Structures are given as structure tokens and as C-alpha cells.
């Protein structure tokens, strides 16, 4: 029994990390249908900048804010310098541009910072919380809470605010959106800035658990992408559920079957789900543009 | 026109060759993985060699001849390593090569060096590099198997016979996992649990819970490097899993204690080199001088802690410089190789090297020291 609870705690911890990364994909995807493969790099930047600001003597909360703002600015710059000039190019070309951007950011990070692993202290210490013989670290609760907070924020943004609806409208039909008076250029800038900020926020929360170095972004983006696909790309609820589900699947497989196969089992389940529900668990019903 | 260009090129080439010969310098080639996934190996290696060449040339070089260093960054890609090895030999005309941060890149360089007859000192771990012995290939790091043997020797002394293993699935972890399973029996140790984790995993409590629930586990052994071992160490503490924890030489650094947290790491053991305990080495220790001078110089030059991997490069360069100084002809690769093979009792940061025609590693188990984390720092186990 305590083993099951321990596997569940592990799954929730790892799953919340995946969910936070997956949530970052949603805004840019909703605004432009582009899957931003530089999202993992935003997470990495959030962690790296916080580490170096903190080591330079900046208090941790301030360092985190600096990291989020700088990363958001980098997201905006990515849109202005690489995505906007290629406006009108097919979505696939834009996705390839984001892959290029991720390689550039990774390279620049190892030059500007370094190639070592880093960590900063957990927000509420490292003493595990004991529940019925199983343990969970306070930082895991921060990550789970952060994922929930971002989820609620995004849900409100997309369903309750005019700007959020403008983002959805831009994705649905850019010309029609312009005709009704939406500044689509500004919406794109906003979505890259927000996505980068969410990525950096994720990086700040997960670094005490996962540690950070210039190359952690790739693996995070891959798992986050898998989680988003499982839940339904573009839907915040899908990102949250997909992430937690993926984490729990891995933990249960590692705990009950074999750690050798935990990733294989997780991906087989994802494939099976996508086979039956091609747009993921919470994917929107297909609304093809004509 | 075409003939003219060709003549000009030939003249240029001839001039180049002449000026090269006139300077009378010793051309040394290096190809390490200073960037890419193996950058944590290649970065300190490149820095170490650049620093040592500068130091040596300031002191007047080897027997009055300066060392001209050509350093390439293969980014951990075996194909690039092969290209650079060929370029080093054919274009840069080096007399010796140091490099091959990973086993993969080493294997590429090795075949080129062996074919062209250029002495090559590898910086990678695998035993297959020097077993069977190749005429021109030497290496400085101890092998995974020796690390396993050192760990199991210590376990035997502690009366531990049932061990749970949790290994990274990266190249280093997987190779050491296989080697440890092979030699465990020789030391009366039984591997009762054998778990793995991905190199980028964030939580290993499920695997560790499985190991804890296995009957009779007396210790946990974690072959791997990167963030994995730091997270395993934290998870063991989180679970309150109270058995001795052994890590590998892959994480032997001060940064590791910081990443794993001093509280979680307290009491864990690993086989490391004298470099890690430079501060507490006694002055009559044979390695005292070489270790302290290297750690001081590296810290002064780069404001960074030394790592075991930089130490491998230090030893490779020192061995090569020593062999060149003893060689009958410092410009002849054959003579350098012969001198290298005659190296005996050479003290490096990793251990004391004695090469022979049958042994191109030249270290024994005494090169490893069993270290333990005490009060947030490394201490030798008495």
C-alpha cells in the first residue's frame, strides 16, 4: 500500500513537471497552429538565469522574476526576428524555424553561462513530508500547485477574456480576425511572450527537483509535447491531465513492471490513445478551415 | 592560368613546409569533445591541455623546443573525431595525439592513429581501448571494471554481500552496470535488484522503493553520471532508505555534493582519485606535488574546480611530454611511442603509471582511493 502511494507521489511530481511544460505549448499553438519546439529551451532559460542571478547575490524571488522577464523578452525577440519575417510560410516551415531557434538558444546558453549542472535551494526546504509511509518533497507540491495555477490562468484567459478569444480567432482565420479589428501581429507577439514566460516559470519551479544545465530543454520539450498530444494539443485541460497521466504511467510501470520499459509502456499507451482519439483526450472536435 | 595558380600554390606549400621546419617545434594534436553532450568531459580536458602547453612553453618547452598545439572540438561526434584525427596527421603533421573524450570518439581516432603509426593517448574509460593491446594506443583513465572491483572490495570489507543496483541508461551507466555484474561474483557479492533510469529522469523513488522492498538488500550501488546520481542520492534520503550508498567515479567532484545536497550525500562512498582530496593530502604522499600544483594552476587560470576528467588530460599530456623528452628523436612518432611504452613509475593526478608492452593503461587498483562524504566534503576512508 505504501509502495503504491509512493509510486503515485513520484508520478504526480514528474507528471506536474510534464504538465507545466505542456501548458507552455498551448498559447503559441492556439495563436498560430505552430508547435514551438523551443519551448523546452524557455524552461531551461528560466532555470539557468535564476541560478546565475541567485549565485550573483540576487534574492531568489527576484531572481525568478528576472528570469521570467528575460525569457519572455527572448520569446518576443524569437517572434520578431524569426517567425514574423517568415509570415505566410506554411506551418511546417515555422515549426522548423522553432527547431533552429532551440539549437541557437542552447548554443548561446553554453557560451553565455556554462556547461555544468546547477541547482538552487528548494523554496520550502528539503525535508520530505510523510503520508502513510510514503514521502513527497515540499518542492513537488510547489510544482503541482504551479501547474494548477497556470492551468486556471490559461483557462480563464481563453474563455473569459477578449484577448484570449482574439488569440483563438487569430489561429482560426487570420484574415477574418484582421477584418473584425484584431491586431494579429500583436497577438502573435503576446503569445510568444506569454509562452516563454510560462516556460520560464516552469523552469524556476522544477529546477530544485530536476536540476538544470544548458541541454535539459530537449528532453523536457519531448515529454511535454507527448503529454500535450495525449491530452489534446491546445487545450489547457488536456495539457494538465496529459502531463499527470504520463508521469503516473511511467511511475507505475517503473514500480510494478520494470524500470527498463517505463518509457516504452508510456509511449505505447499514448499511441493507443491517439489511435482511438486522434486529437487526444480533450482535443477539440475537428473544425477544418475551408 | 591554371598552371600559374598551381605553381603559386606549390610555392606557397613549399614555403609553409620550410617555415614549419625552421621553427623546430613539436607539433601535438588534440581532439576532445569540448562542446556537445560530452562537454562536461571535454571542456575541462581542453582547458587543462591549453593551460599545460602554455606553462610548458613559458618554461622553454621540451629540450628547448616549443610545443605547437592544434586542438579540435569534435562535439562528441565519432565521425568528426575521425575527420579531425586524419586532418591532424595529414595536414597538421602532428607527432602525437591526445584526445577521444568518449569511448565512441576514441574508437574513431584509434583506428586512424594505429593505421598511420602515430602514438595516441585516449581519455576514455572503456577497457576495449587497451585490451587487446594496440601498438600505438595508450590511455590514462582507469576502467569501469576497476571502479567496480574497488567498490566491491570495500563492500567485502564491510561484510556486505547483497546489493541493489540502480544504473543510468546512458553509455557510462550501462557499461559500468554490465562490468559490475560481471565481477560481482569474484568478491562474493550478489546483485539482488537491478533497476535503471533514463539520463534525464526527474524522480527515481519508484525504482528505489522496489530495491527497498527486495529481501536482504544491504547496500545500493549507482553507476551513472550527470544529474541522475544527484537525484538518486536525494531520493534515497527522501525515502529514509538507511543502507550504505555507493556512487561511481563518474560523479567524483565537489559540485556533486552541492547538487545532491550535503545532508543527503553524507556518508556515501565512491572510488575517486587524489585530485578530490587535494586539500587533505599529506605532504609525504607521492601524489601531493602533482595534485596540488595542478589544482592551484587550474583554479588560478579558469576560476573553476578541477575535475577527475581534466586530471585524465593532465596525466595524458604529462606522460606525452615526458616521453617526448626521453625519445631519441622528438620529431619521430616511432621513437615517442617506444619512449612512452618504457614509462615507469610516472606519478600523475590519477595514479602512478607504468606502461609495458602488455599493459598500455599502467594503473592498478591502488590508483583509486575510496572516498566518503563527511561534513559536506570528501574524506579518504581509512
Report mean pLDDT in 10-residue bins for chain B, 382 residues.
53 47 76 84 92 92 90 91 94 93 90 93 87 91 89 92 91 87 92 89 90 91 88 91 90 85 90 86 87 92 86 94 89 91 91 91 87 89 78
Say if A8 is an interface residue toward chain B (CB within 8 Å). no
Whole-number Å distance between alpha carbons of A205 and B239: 21
Say if A9 is an interface residue toward chain B (CB within 8 Å). yes
Whose cell is 514551438? That residue is A36
- What is the tens place of the pLDDT at every residue in A41-82? 999 999 999 999 999 999 999 999 999 999 999 999 999 999
CA B273 to chain centre: 11
- Please tell me the predicted confidence (pLDDT) of residue B366: 83
Whole-number Å distance between alpha carbons of B92 and B71: 10
Whose cell is 538507511? That residue is B242
Alpha-carbon separation of residue B149 from A52, B7, B372, B380 (angstroms): 39, 62, 17, 17
Residue (of B207, B213, B182) closest to B194 by Cα position: B207
Whole-number Å distance between alpha carbons of A219 and A43: 11
Say if A128 is an interface residue toward chain B (CB within 8 Å). yes
Backbone angles phi, psi at B33, to 5 degrees: -95, 70
- Print burial letters for B28-53: b (CB count within 10 Å at least 16), e (below 16): bbbbbbbbbbbbbbbbbbbbbbbbbb
H or E stretch including A264?
helix A262-276
Residue spans of the domains in chain A: they are 2-276
The answer, yes or no, to whether residue A202 has pLDDT greater than 90, is: yes
- CA-based torsion, B300, B304, B308, B310: positive or negative: negative
Whole-number Å distance between alpha carbons of B62 and B351: 23
Partner residue opposite A211 with nearest CB, options B195, B210, B227: B227
Top residue of A116, A202, A205 to mutate, by most chain B CBs within 10 Å, is: A116
Reduce the DSSP state of residue B161 to 3 states and report it: coil
Residue spans of the domains in chain B: they are 2-143+290-365, 144-276+368-380
- Please tell me the predicted confidence (pLDDT) of residue B11: 52
Whose cell is 522492498? That residue is B213
Model confidence, pTM = 0.83
Say if A125 is an interface residue toward chain B (CB within 8 Å). no
Contacts of B120 (CB under 8 A, 6+ apart): B96, B97, B98, B99, B100, B109, B110, B113, B114, B136, B137, B138
The pLDDT of A139-154, averaged and rounded, is 93
Pairing of strands B26-32, B67-73: parallel
How far A224 CA lies from chain B's nearest CA (Å)?
13
Q: Indicate yes or no: CB of B198 within 8 angstroms of CB of A216.
A: no
**The CATH number, out of the four listed (1.20.120, 1.10.3470, 1.10.287, 1.10.10), of the domain defined by the range A2-276:** 1.10.3470
The CATH code that applies to domain B144-276+368-380 is 3.40.50.2300
Mean predicted lDDT score pLDDT of chain A: 89
Q: Please name the residue of chain B whose CA is at the shortest distance from the CA of residue A108.
A: B35
Reduce the DSSP state of residue B112 to 3 states and report it: helix
H or E stretch including B162?
strand B162-168
The answer, yes or no, to whether residue A96 has pLDDT greater than 90, is: yes
- What is the tens place of the pLDDT at every residue in A243-271? 999 999 999 998 888 888 888 888 888 88
Q: Please name the residue of chain A whose CA is at the shortest distance from the CA of residue B169.
A: A260
Cell of A28: 503559441
A222 contact residues in B (CB cutoff 8 A):
none
Whose cell is 481563453? That residue is A158
Helix (H) and strand (E) counts in chain A: 11, 2
- Please tell me the predicted confidence (pLDDT) of residue B21: 43
pLDDT band at A16 (very low <50, low <70, confident <90, very high): very high
Q: Please name the residue of chain B whose CA is at the shortest distance from the CA of residue A5.
A: B206
- Please tell me the predicted confidence (pLDDT) of residue B4: 55
Residue (of A85, A83, A107) closest to A95 by Cα position: A83
Q: Indicate yes or no: CB of A6 within 8 angstroms of CB of B209.
A: yes
Say if A126 is an interface residue toward chain B (CB within 8 Å). yes
How far A172 CA lies from chain B's nearest CA (Å)?
36
Alpha helices by DSSP H, chain B:
2-23, 39-58, 78-90, 103-116, 144-157, 171-183, 205-212, 227-239, 254-260, 262-265, 288-302, 308-326, 333-341
How far B214 CA lies from chain A's nearest CA (Å)?
12
Whole-number Å distance between alpha carbons of A233 and A286: 12
- What's the burial of B297, exposed, middle or buried (CB within 10 Å: 0-12/13-18/19+)? middle
CA A49 to chain centre: 17
Cis geometry, peptide bond prior to residue B131 (ω within 30 degrees of 0): no
Q: Indicate yes or no: CB of A7 within 8 angstroms of CB of B209.
A: yes
Q: Indicate yes or no: CB of B207 within 8 angstroms of CB of A259.
A: yes
- Please tell me the predicted confidence (pLDDT) of residue A284: 66
CATH superfamily of this structure's domain B2-143+290-365: Response regulator (3.40.50.2300)
H or E stretch including A152?
helix A138-160
Amino acid at each position: 500500500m505504501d509502495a503504491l502511494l509512493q509510486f503515485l507521489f513520484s508520478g504526480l511530481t514528474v507528471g506536474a513537471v510534464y504538465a507545466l511544460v505542456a501548458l507552455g505549448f498551448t498559447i503559441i499553438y492556439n495563436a498560430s497552429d505552430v508547435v514551438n519546439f523551443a519551448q523546452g529551451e524557455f524552461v531551461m532559460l528560466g532555470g539557468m538565469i535564476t541560478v546565475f542571478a541567485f549565485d550573483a547575490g540576487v534574492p531568489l524571488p527576484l531572481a525568478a522574476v528576472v528570469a521570467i522577464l528575460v525569457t519572455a523578452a527572448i520569446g518576443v525577440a524569437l517572434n520578431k526576428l524569426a517567425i514574423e519575417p517568415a509570415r505566410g510560410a506554411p506551418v511546417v516551415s515555422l515549426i522548423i524555424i522553432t527547431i533552429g531557434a532551440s539549437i541557437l538558444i542552447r548554443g548561446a546558453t553554453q557560451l553565455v553561462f556554462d556547461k555544468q549542472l546547477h541547482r538552487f535551494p528548494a523554496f520550502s526546504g528539503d525535508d520530505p513530508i510523510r503520508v502513510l509511509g510514503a514521502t513527497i518533497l515540499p518542492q513537488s507540491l510547489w510544482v503541482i500547485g504551479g501547474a494548477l495555477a497556470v492551468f486556471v490562468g490559461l483557462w480563464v484567459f481563453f474563455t473569459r477574456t477578449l484577448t484570449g478569444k482574439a488569440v483563438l480567432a487569430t489561429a482560426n482565420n487570420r484574415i477574418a480576425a484582421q477584418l473584425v479589428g484584431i491586431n494579429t501581429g500583436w497577438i502573435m507577439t503576446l503569445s510568444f511572450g506569454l509562452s516563454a514566460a510560462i516556460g520560464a516559470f516552469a523552469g524556476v519551479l522544477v529546477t530544485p527537483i530536476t536540476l538544470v544545465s544548458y541541454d535539459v530543454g530537449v528532453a523536457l520539450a519531448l515529454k511535454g509535447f507527448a503529454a500535450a498530444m495525449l491530452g489534446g494539443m491546445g487545450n489547457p485541460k488536456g495539457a494538465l491531465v496529459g502531463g499527470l497521466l504520463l508521469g503516473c504511467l511511467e511511475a507505475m510501470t517503473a514500480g510494478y513492471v520494470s524500470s527498463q520499459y517505463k518509457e516504452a509502456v508510456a509511449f505505447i499507451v499514448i499511441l493507443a490513445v491517439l489511435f482511438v482519439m486522434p486529437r487526444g483526450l480533450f482535443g477539440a472536435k475537428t473544425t477544418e478551415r475551408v | 592560368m591554371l598552371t600559374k595558380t598551381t605553381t603559386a600554390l606549390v610555392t606557397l606549400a613549399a614555403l609553409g613546409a620550410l617555415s614549419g621546419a625552421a621553427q623546430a617545434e613539436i607539433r601535438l594534436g588534440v581532439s576532445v569533445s569540448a562542446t556537445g553532450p560530452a562537454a562536461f568531459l571535454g571542456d575541462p580536458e581542453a582547458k587543462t591541455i591549453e593551460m599545460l602547453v602554455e606553462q610548458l612553453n613559458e618554461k622553454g618547452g621540451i629540450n628547448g623546443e616549443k610545443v605547437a598545439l592544434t586542438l579540435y572540438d569534435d562535439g562528441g561526434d565519432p565521425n568528426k573525431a575521425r575527420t579531425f584525427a586524419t586532418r591532424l596527421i595529414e595536414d597538421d603533421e602532428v607527432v602525437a595525439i591526445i584526445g577521444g573524450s568518449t569511448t565512441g570518439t576514441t574508437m574513431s581516432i584509434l583506428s586512424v592513429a594505429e593505421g598511420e603509426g602515430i602514438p595516441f593517448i585516449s581519455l576514455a574509460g572503456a577497457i576495449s581501448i587497451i585490451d587487446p593491446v594496440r601498438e600505438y594506443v595508450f590511455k590514462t583513465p582507469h576502467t569501469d571494471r576497476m571502479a567496480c572491483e574497488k567498490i566491491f572490495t570495500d563492500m567485502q570489507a564491510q561484510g556486505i554481500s547483497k546489493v541493489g543496483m540502480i544504473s543510468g541508461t546512458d553509455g557510462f551507466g550501462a557499461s559500468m552496470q554490465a562490468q559490475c555484474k560481471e565481477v560481482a561474483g569474484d568478491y562474493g557479492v550478489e546483485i539482488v535488484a537491478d533497476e535503471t533510469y533514463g539520463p534525464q529522469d526527474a524522480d527515481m523513488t519508484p525504482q528505489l522503493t522496489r530495491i527497498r522492498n527486495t529481501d536482504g538488500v544491504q547496500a545500493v550501488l549507482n553507476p551513472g553520471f550527470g544529474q541522475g546520481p544527484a537525484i538518486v542520492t536525494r531520493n534515497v534520503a527522501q525515502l529514509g532508505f538507511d543502507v550504505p550508498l555507493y556512487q561511481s567515479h563518474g560523479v567524483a567532484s565537489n559540485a556533486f555534493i552541492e547538487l545532491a545536497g550535503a545532508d543527503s550525500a553524507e556518508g556515501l562512498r565512491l572510488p575517486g582519485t587524489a585530485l578530490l582530496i587535494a586539500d587533505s593530502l599529506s605532504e609525504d604522499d607521492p601524489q601531493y606535488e602533482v595534485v596540488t600544483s595542478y589544482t592551484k594552476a587550474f583554479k588560478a587560470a579558469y576560476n573553476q574546480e578541477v575535475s577527475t576528467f581534466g586530471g585524465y588530460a593532465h596525466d595524458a599530456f604529462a606522460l606525452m611530454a615526458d616521453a617526448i623528452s626521453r625519445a631519441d628523436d622528438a620529431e619521430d612518432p616511432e621513437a615517442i611511442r617506444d619512449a612512452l611504452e618504457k614509462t615507469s613509475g610516472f606519478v600523475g593526478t590519477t595514479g602512478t603509471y607504468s606502461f609495458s608492452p602488455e599493459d598500455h593503461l599502467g594503473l592498478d587498483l591502488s590508483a583509486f582511493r575510496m572516498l566518503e562524504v563527511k561534513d559536506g566534503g570528501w574524506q579518504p576512508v581509512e
